[in-house]
Amino acid sequence: MKINWPGAYEPSRTRVHVSNRLAMKAPISAVWSWLVRGQRWPEWYSNSSNVVFLSGEGPDLALGTRFKWKTFGVAIESKVEEFLPPERIAWSAHGIGVDAYHAWALEETSEGCNVLTEETQNGWVASLGNLLMPNRMHRFHQLWLESLERQALLDQAKSGPPSE
């Protein structure tokens, strides 16, 4: 699995780069369903709040969907830049002092799926946060992956995708 980085967000061109990976026992369809249901992230991922769609029909993210939300205590506006169900999704993220790109790649396995998430950032807030708390984003992205797997497994146990 590899991330398709837009030129300005290539890890070698950014101040911050974080990569997390998890082999999940949940089926890729269940993982994807929870990942793209952005407005429900705050229910199961504690580092997200106030997710509001600015464009797109919802309830799921799609190519071109613009949304605002809060993460790491920063108000962010994002746009889905890559969308290939159920394998890839990526969004740009802009806020005061932050210019970021967050990408996800999923790969089906015999036991579930592998999920890779990577983020690159530029901006003074991103640089300061990385300097003062160098492992914070890595820890929270790992929490995001683990929480995503938990939700997908719950979904599987209930035998249905997330509802609106």
User: DSSP letter string over the chain?
Assistant: ------GGG-GGGSSEEEEEEEEESS-HHHHHHHHH-GGGHHHH-TTEEEEEESSSS-SS--TT-EEEEEETTEEEEEEEEEEETTTEEEEEEEETTEEEEEEEEEEEETTEEEEEEEEEEESHHHHHHHHHSTTHHHHHHHHHHHHHHHHHHHHHHHTSPPP-
Kindly report the average pLDDT of the chain as a whole number. 91
Model confidence band, residue 28 (pLDDT cutoffs 50, 70, 90) = very high
Model confidence band, residue 106 (pLDDT cutoffs 50, 70, 90) = very high
Q: Is the pTM of this model over 0.85?
A: yes
- Write down the pLDDT at residue 12: 94
**Which domains, from first to last, does the chain contain?**
11-157 (3.30.530.20)
Kindly tell me if the per-residue pLDDT of 104 is higher than 70: yes
